[in-house]
């Protein structure tokens, strides 16, 4: 069997590594890939936006199925184009991917399906949003616990958490005024700021059957103690102790099942990975957002713990027979992923800096270094993005997994490398 994975991040490296481990798979190709996928698979220099090029490659190389990793090509309809060309593909259709592609669509669907989420207002104009904030919060320094969100895709950075009126007005200006996130800011949402621990619940569905995966917890803010600007994710661990079997059952009944049914009623049947970003409030779990693919970096610790064959699950989803599959087996040990980033991220950063120590880190027991923003340059591996590596380890306890992950981090160097030092500490609180 031959498999093509579309994307070039840490999620795609983890998918390539896990799919390559299947005894049923002969070749794994990644388009366009990174320096890590070049080791664990075969890179193909075709960008994720080149639908025609990907279809041509898949046909010429008799690819058995394609896994579309990132959100942008899913929202752009790559799965639809592949299927129209007679190529089997894993991931939601363009219509279903709007669940992530438009936060306005997502919030409206949640309201229609009576799924618990934060109260919100939608705006098309910066002036209307500014008047809304000023009317509700009259004093310039008034407490203003809201979250301002760009409607469209913004690489995980279009969500701004605000504490006072000044911050809320600045967020509106960034999104809808100066258009920091481009067309993603054509519409914006202002919603109430929820409080409580955040968790990620990923489920795989074929549109009828739902396979809920072990819980994970991402760390979005850039700095220790959840301080600083939002990022695409600075690390994750799996599972999270706050989500027990009773809470999983509640999340399935009140969130996952209603959303899958609502998508089907909307004639947007969902097949692929349904990722619920949740806040565990005093009133129970509420939806912050939905993504339509494996999270990055949640994918890395999740797949480190998966003992079964991922290819069996993917094919069951593509063929609509997930109900015939036995539940997958999971390693009982937890896993922790620490993201190493470029200096300046999530703002401007330089690329092309030589990375050393990857071989030493790889020699450590129960460690896998997944590449995200890397490239090959001559004989070197160099930085090519903001989030560069996802250093992932598994251990008997969360503390042991964290210790091993940071041991590997200490072996890796490049000018300006940094990471959060508190990934997974929330599990011990």
Neighbours of 105 (CB within 10 A): 17
Task: Write down which residue in 272, 296, 324 finishes a domain.
Answer: 324
Say if residue 208 is in the same domain as residue 291: yes
Q: Are residues 6 and 70 in the same domain?
A: yes
Q: Which residues of the chain have pLDDT under 50?
A: none
Residue 233: per-residue pLDDT? 94
Domain contains 110? no
Is residue 102 domain-resident? no
Q: Which domain holds residue 359?
A: 335-428
Residues 353, 316 share a domain:
no
pLDDT digits (tens, 9 = 90+) for 126-144: 999 999 999 988 777 778 9
**Model confidence pLDDT, tens digit, residues 322-358:** 999 999 999 999 999 999 999 999 999 999 999 999 9
% of the chain beyond a pLDDT of 90: 94
- Scored b (16 or more CB within 10 A) or e, 48-76 reads bebbeebbebbeeeebbbbbbbbbbbbbb
CB distance 317 to 292 below 8 Å: no
CATH number (domain holding residue 16)? 3.40.50.20
Cα distances from 186 to residues 74, 123, 178, 348, in angstroms, run: 20, 9, 11, 23
Same domain, 174 and 236: no
Amino acid 9: pLDDT: 97
Given this model, what pLDDT does residue 77 score? 98
Report the pLDDT value the prediction gives residue 97, as an integer from 0 to 100.
Answer: 98
Domain match, 222 and 180 both: no
Domain annotation covers residue 192: no
Q: Are residues 163 and 262 in the same domain?
A: no
Are residues 223 and 285 located together in one domain of the fold?
A: yes
Pairing mode, if any, of strands 235-238 and 65-68? Answer: unpaired
In a domain, 120, yes or no: no
How much is the pTM? Answer: 0.95
CATH number of 271's domain: 3.30.470.20
Q: Examine the domain organization and report whether 70 and 174 are in the same domain.
A: no
Strands 120-123 and 65-68: unpaired
pLDDT confidence of residue 429: 75
- Among 99, 95, 71, 72, smallest CA distance to 83 is for 95
What's the Cα-to-Cα distance from 58 to each of 28, 45, 51, 55, 157, rounded to whole Å? Answer: 12, 13, 11, 5, 33
Query: Where residue 424 sits, what CATH number does that domain have?
Result: 3.90.600.10
Confidence at residue 88, expressed as pLDDT on a 0 to 100 scale: 98
Q: Is residue 118 part of a domain?
A: no
Report the C-alpha gap between 190 and 209 in whole angstroms.
33
Domain presence at residue 117? no
User: How far, in whole angstroms, is CA 56 from its chain's centroid?
Assistant: 28
Whether 78 and 178 map to the same domain: the answer is no
Contact 172, 188 (CB under 8 A): yes
Please state the domain count of the chain.
4
Looking at the fold, whether 210 and 313 belong to one and the same domain comes out as yes
Domain assignment present for residue 28? The answer is yes
For residues 210 and 308, membership in a common domain is answered with yes
Position 386 in a domain: yes
Looking at the fold, whether 264 and 343 belong to one and the same domain comes out as: no
Final residue in a domain of this structure, among 305, 324, 343 = 324
């Amino acid at each position: 069997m031959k498999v093509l994975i579309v994307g070039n991040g840490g999620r795609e490296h983890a998918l390539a590594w896990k799919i390559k481990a299947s005894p049923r798979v002969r070749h794994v190709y990644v388009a366009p890939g990174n320096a890590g996928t070049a080791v664990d698979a075969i890179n193909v220099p075709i960008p994720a936006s080149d639908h025609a090029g990907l279809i041509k490659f898949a046909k010429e190389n008799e690819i058995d199925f394609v896994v579309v990793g990132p959100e942008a090509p899913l929202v752009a309809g790559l799965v639809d184009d592949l299927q129209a060309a007679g190529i089997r593909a894993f991931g939601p259709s363009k219509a279903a991917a709007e669940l992530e592609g438009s936060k306005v669509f997502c919030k409206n669907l949640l309201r229609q399906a009576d799924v618990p989420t934060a109260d919100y207002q939608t705006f098309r104009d910066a002036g209307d949003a500014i008047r809304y904030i000023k009317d509700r919060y009259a004093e310039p320094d008034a407490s203003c616990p809201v979250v301002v969100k760009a409607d469209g895709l913004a690489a995980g950075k279009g969500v701004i958490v605000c504490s006072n009126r000044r911050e809320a007005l600045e967020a509106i200006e960034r999104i809808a005024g100066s258009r920091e996130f481009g067309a993603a800011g054509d519409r914006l949402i202002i919603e109430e700021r929820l409080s409580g621990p955040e968790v990620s619940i990923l489920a795989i569905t074929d549109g009828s059957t739902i396979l809920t995966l072990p819980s994970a917890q991402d760390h979005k803010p850039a700095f220790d103690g959840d301080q600083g600007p939002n990022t695409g994710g600075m690390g994750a661990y799996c599972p999270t102790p706050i989500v027990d079997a009773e809470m999983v059952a509640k999340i399935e009944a009140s969130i996952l099942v209603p959303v899958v049914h609502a998508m089907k009623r909307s004639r947007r049947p969902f097949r692929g990975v349904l990722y619920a970003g949740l806040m565990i409030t005093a009133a129970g779990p509420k939806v912050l957002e939905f993504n339509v693919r494996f999270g990055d970096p949640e994918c890395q610790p999740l797949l480190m713990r998966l003992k079964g064959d991922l290819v069996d699950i993917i094919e069951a989803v593509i063929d609509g027979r997930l109900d015939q599959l036995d539940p997958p087996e999971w390693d009982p040990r937890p896993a922790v992923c620490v993201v190493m980033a470029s200096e300046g991220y999530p703002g401007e950063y330089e690329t092309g800096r030589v990375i050393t120590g990857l071989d030493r880190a790889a020699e450590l027991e129960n460690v896998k270094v997944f590449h995200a923003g890397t490239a090959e340059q001559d004989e070197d591996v160099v930085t090519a993005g903001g989030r560069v590596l996802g250093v992932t380890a598994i251990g008997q306890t969360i503390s042991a997994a964290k210790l091993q992950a940071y041991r590997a981090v200490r072996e890796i160097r490049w000018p300006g490398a940094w990471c959060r030092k508190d990934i997974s500490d929330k599990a011990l609180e």
